[in-house]
Amino acid sequence: EVQLVESGGGLVQPGGSLRLSCAASGFTFSRNAMSWVRQAPGKGLEWVSSIGGGGGNTYYADSVKGRFTISRDSSKNTLYLQMNSLSAEDTAVYYCAKDDFLTVGYYYYMDVWGKGTTVTVSS
Amino acid sequence: DIQMTQSPSSLSASVGDRVTITCRASQSIGSYLNWYQQKPGKAPKLLICAASSLQSAFPSRFSGSGSGTDFTLTITSLQPEDFATYYCQQTYTTLTWTFGHGTRVEIK
C-alpha cells in the first residue's frame, strides 16, 4: 500500500523554526517528485514546495521562498520541509503529496496524500 | 505566475441535481488541469487529471472538460457522498503548482 505519513508539526513561536518529515512507503521513493501543500484554517489549498525525484531541483511558492527548504533522503524514504522565520501566516495543516505524471504529455498530478501535520505559529 | 479562478466559491444543491463548477486559468495551460475532492478534516483526493481523465476510485457521474483557459467539472446526479469542496490545480508549469480557491458543494 502506498502511504505517506507526515510528522513534526506543533506549536512554535513567531520567528521560530520547525522541520517537517514525510515518511513514504509502498513505492520507489526516488522515482517520484514530491510536494508540500498547506491549508490554513478554513482556507483553501496552497502549494508550498516541490522537489524532483533526484533531489536536484527544488521549487518554492513566493510566500515561503528564502524561508523554507525542501529536501529528501532516498536512503530513508523521507521528505523534509525545513521552515524558518515562521509567522502566524504559516499556521496551517501541511500535507505531503506524491507527484506522478502521465507519460504521454507529462501531465502531472498528486495521486497520494498524507493525512497532514498541523503547524501553529503563536506566542 | 498562473492564477486559477474557480466559480462559484460555494453552491447549494439537492441530491440528484446536475452541478457544474468552472475553473479559469490566467493564461493558456492546455489540458494541464487537475481536480481534487476534499471532505472536512481529510486530505484531498485526486478526482480528475489532464482535464478529463477520471480516476478509477470515482464514479462516472463525475466528468471534466475544457482546455486552454476554461475548464469544467460536472457532476451529473449529485449524491450525498459528493458534498465536499472541489479544487482545480494547474500543472502547466512543472513542479510549480497553483490551486484554485475551491468550490464548496453544500446540501440545499
For residue A10, the model assigns a pLDDT of 98
B45 CB near a chain A CB, below 8 Å? yes
Distance CA B95, CA A17 (A): 25
The average pLDDT across A4-19 equals 98
CB contact under 8 A, A110 and B44: yes
**B25, B69 contact by CB (below 8 A):** yes
A95 CB near a chain B CB, below 8 Å? yes
Task: Using the predicted structure, report yes or no on whether residue A54 has a pLDDT greater than 90.
Answer: no
Least CB-CB distance to A45: which of B31, B32, B99? Answer: B99
Q: Tens-of-pLDDT digits for all 108 residues of chain B? A: 999 999 999 999 999 999 999 999 999 999 999 999 999 999 999 999 999 999 999 999 999 999 999 999 999 999 999 999 999 999 999 889 999 999 999 988
Q: What is the interface size between A and B, counted as CB pairs within 8 Å? A: 74
Average pLDDT, chain A: 96
Least CB-CB distance to A107: which of B44, B50, B101? Answer: B50
Task: Using the predicted structure, report yes or no on whether residue A105 has a pLDDT greater than 90.
Answer: no
B87 CB near a chain A CB, below 8 Å? yes
